[in-house]
Structure 1
């Protein structure tokens, strides 16, 4: 760390993990105890989010000097994995928050971010608003920052997949600034009257993440809260992806634990089985064993990719531009490789674990299908087939992976 251009006290280099984690594990246990009820009744986790806010969870990445825990990125994603094991919806709901926190931590290199740090330490959370709604052509940004008749900056637009915003105090909003003719992030307050957030996400999994429609109508925004998008932290795409890896790993851990308990308690056996109890059947033990190994691999890969993010984070504060480029390329590559493998591992184990039980495993009262459903939805983000192609293009042709990409209507589709 001798080439760092900033005092180490200004950075988040890591903490005593067990000491930090033990502060939050009682909250995780409370969350886990009510997770099945929320799943079955589709209850948004307002109260669990408040528990996390009160415990200071949203500030764990903030440097100790500014009141946070100063955890490293591998430690952050280990905590998020523990949270995802308790309730995977909560980890995903906090994805936008920690991405915005990371951006402010990185921006601190050149512009002091004490005010934002104070907000995070006080418990403020940030939601997400990036994806345009409807037949917006790819590359177009309908959400706009303009000046009103009084000369004040305002934002108008509509977004979907506004994950976590319904629980948040701020929204990390992607928009086009007409006053400067550039793409920006507008940090807007959810407490403004022009902000409306609907809980209309209709996915079959991850149903309580608050990923619905966000409408912004003449919402004021301070000039200092309009941030040029080209200054966004470079490893953001990899960061967002590793969030999904931590979520998938937590789902896998919870699935193995839950199915193991079902096997331990099961009293009915098949006449053509292999043991006096299901828990003694070697074929059943083999299934649990393989799922456990797959979960171990998922966690190990998640931690490896998180370490690549930490290297990219530190390279930003170093003196070598070449090392920074290399570190960001490595983070993007490793996060993509991790996505391809972890998605397959977790989808496989959450399906195969049903072979440990009989038809009773299909009971809606158990909701054992939630593990596969949630994993399937998380794995559907950032299509794996395109990541596999990008990895192959890197390996064969040294073509850089896409750091920023968008989704929208094809320009070849004619609209009326």
Structure 2
């Protein structure tokens, strides 16, 4: 797919929340929940317990409605505020922000909706309803093709059939943001599917070595019903969507580093055994060990700063919708470039830092009961999405040749030649 051009608006969204909350007041609502989530994160992964209860607690507290305007029951948070909180949540359990990635993207899309229903969706999200993501086709589908189809019905509704993999968060969701194709017109659309119906099933069959409890498995649609106002032209999708999706993965990377910092500091502080060829009577005062912990901590600081810069670029793109077409396009290109640069820098930073923590802990640090390797595994897994090597080339092409980054792309089998 190539970069899309937005069609004429049929519904115009407001371009800024009516009220912006104070950072600390907003964060204070969720930090006790984050603490509870962090306390059970390692055990959930070891026992493969999906965070159904944790996600529902967050939703009930309004976390999924951070970006929803106050008049619809949300917090009216800015994108930098939202991504700072996603980073804090990722430091508690990096699986959960990724599980909510599709939800926050659909909220953003409806917030800046150019067509279809807007207010009704914002009211649903303001009530705590959660969306999942279902875009990637299963099997050897050729690149650019869409096997999942929506078919119009005589009563004005649609029926959807198909199967999707990497359907992150859909197993927790009330609604599923699904990429499909109309059988009557061939138009590519987003179908927002009610997850609570017989024609929708989910399998928790993601087999990656990291991000194990994101619920990123297979979703199957068998003649499931889709309301007429829930089938939205893909060309009307919010323009900074790929940058947005990438930015959520940046919070997963940054949170993994912050979690590694927290745990390595705790392990060093409480360690009683020392080495005869070390530098102090305790690990907690050994300057070389402190150096390692300091390097992990510095990586966490840098990771958080990278997320902030990317979120600021997204906020600028969001605000560009109120400006002229040329400036809007420029801001969206800058957001795509910023998140690509952030991904290239942060992937290596996060995987190095989460591996480096073992340099401070010796052989006991690799104990499976401690499960400290999950931070590296989670960072390595999140860093494998949307391969950074392609993003590095795209960033370089912009720097050298002024080529703007693509904002929409697809994955699939190579077409026969």
Cα distance change, pair 355–197 in 1 and its aligned pair in 2 (3 A): same
CA contact (8 A) 1:13 1:72 kept: no
- The CA deviation string for residues 280-326 of structure 1, in whole angstroms up to 9 with x for no partner, is 111111111111111111100100110000000001122x2121111
What is the alpha-carbon distance in structure 2 between the residues aligned to residue 111 and residue 39 of structure 1?
A: 39
**Is the partner of 1:142 in helix, strand or coil?**
coil
Residue 30 of structure 2 is aligned to residue 16 of structure 1: no
Q: Return 5+ residue gaps in structure 1 as ranges.
A: none
Report whether the alignment pairs 1:74 with 2:80.
yes
CA deviation after TM superposition for structure 1 residue 357, in Å: 1.0
- C-alpha distance in structure 2 between counterparts of 1:12 and 1:132, whole Å: 38
1:328 counterpart = 2:346: no
Partner residue of 2:377?
Answer: 373
**In the alignment, which residue of structure 1 is the partner of 2:163?**
158
Which deviates more from structure 2 when the two are superposed, residues 12-21 or residues 53-62? Answer: 12-21
Cα distance in 1 between the residues matched to 2:378 and 2:335: 25
Distance 1:60 1:192 in 2: 27
Secondary structure of the equivalent of 2:112? helix
Of 281, 290, 297 in structure 2, the residue corresponding to residue 292 of structure 1 is 297
CA contact (8 A) 2:192 2:230 kept: yes
Q: Which runs of 4+ in 1 moved over 2 A?
A: 5-14, 109-112, 147-152
One of 135, 139, 143 as aligned partner of 1:134: 139
Cα distance per residue 1:56-84 (max 9 Å; x no partner): 11111011222211000000000101111
Give the Cα separation in 1 of the matches to 2:23 and 2:70: 14
Report 1:339-350 matches (<5 A).
Answer: 339-350=343-354
- Report whether the alignment pairs 1:258 with 2:263: yes
Q: Provide the C-alpha distance between the structure 1 equivalents of 2:117 and 2:222, rounded to a whole number of angstroms.
A: 30
Cα contact 2:15–2:321 (8 A) shared by 1: no
Selected match of 2:211 from 203, 206, 209 = 206
The answer to whether the 8 A contact 1:9-1:64 is kept is: no
Deviates more, 1:88-97 or 1:396-405: 396-405
Q: Is the 8 A contact 2:261 2:293 kept in 1?
A: yes
Partner of 1:48: helix, strand, or coil? helix
User: Does the 8 Å contact 1:10/1:65 carry over to 2?
Assistant: no
Distance in 2 (alpha carbons) for counterparts of 1:7 and 1:169? 24
Deviation of the 1:198 alpha carbon:
0.3
Counterpart pick for 2:148 among 135, 140, 143 = 143
The separation in 2 between residues aligned to 1:93 and 1:33, in whole angstroms, is 18
Mapped to 2, the partners of 1:6 and 1:129 lie a distance apart of: 26
The structure 1 residue matched to 2:286, chosen from 277, 281, 297, is 281
Q: For residue 8 of structure 2, what is the aligned residue in structure 1?
A: none
Aligned length: 407
User: RMSD of aligned C-alpha atoms?
Assistant: 1.7
Q: Does 1:42 align with 2:48?
A: yes
**CA contact 2:16–2:319 (8 Å) conserved in 1:** no
Superposition pairs for residues 10-409 of structure 1, below 5 Å? 11=17, 14-107=20-113, 113-147=118-152, 152-318=157-323, 320-409=324-413
Distance 2:57 2:156 in 1: 40
Cα drift, residue 6 of structure 1: 8.1
Instruction: Say which SS state the counterpart of residue 275 (structure 1) adopts.
Output: coil
Q: Matched residues in 1 for 2:106 and 2:117: separation? A: 15
TM-score, normalization by structure 2: 0.95
Q: CA deviation at 1:395?
A: 1.2
Q: Does the Cα contact within 8 Å between 2:156 and 2:228 map onto a contact in 1? A: no
Unpaired runs of at least 5, structure 2? 1-10
Indicate how the Cα distance of structure 1 residues 104 and 40 shifts in structure 2: closer, same or farther if over 3 A, else same. same
Q: Quote the Cα distance in structure 2 between the aligned partners of 1:150 and 1:326.
A: 42
CA distance change for structure 1 residues 295 and 10 in 2, over 3 Å: closer, same or farther? closer
1:101: Cα distance to partner? 0.3
| Contact in 2 for aligned 1:155/1:218 (Cα 8 Å) | yes
Q: CA deviation at 1:27?
A: 1.0
Contact 1:394-1:400 at 8 Å conserved across structures: yes
What is the distance in 1 between the residues matched to 2:377 and 2:111? 34
CA distance in 2, matches of 1:13, 1:408: 42
Question: Structure 1 residues 177, 24: CA separation in 2 closer, same or farther (over 3 Å shift)?
Answer: same
- Relative distance call for 1:76 and 1:217 in structure 2 (3 A) is same
Q: CA separation in 2, counterparts of 1:343 and 1:353?
A: 16
Task: Check conservation: 1:132, 1:141, Cα contact below 8 A.
Answer: yes
Whether the 8 Å CA contact 1:12–1:70 is kept in 2: the answer is: yes
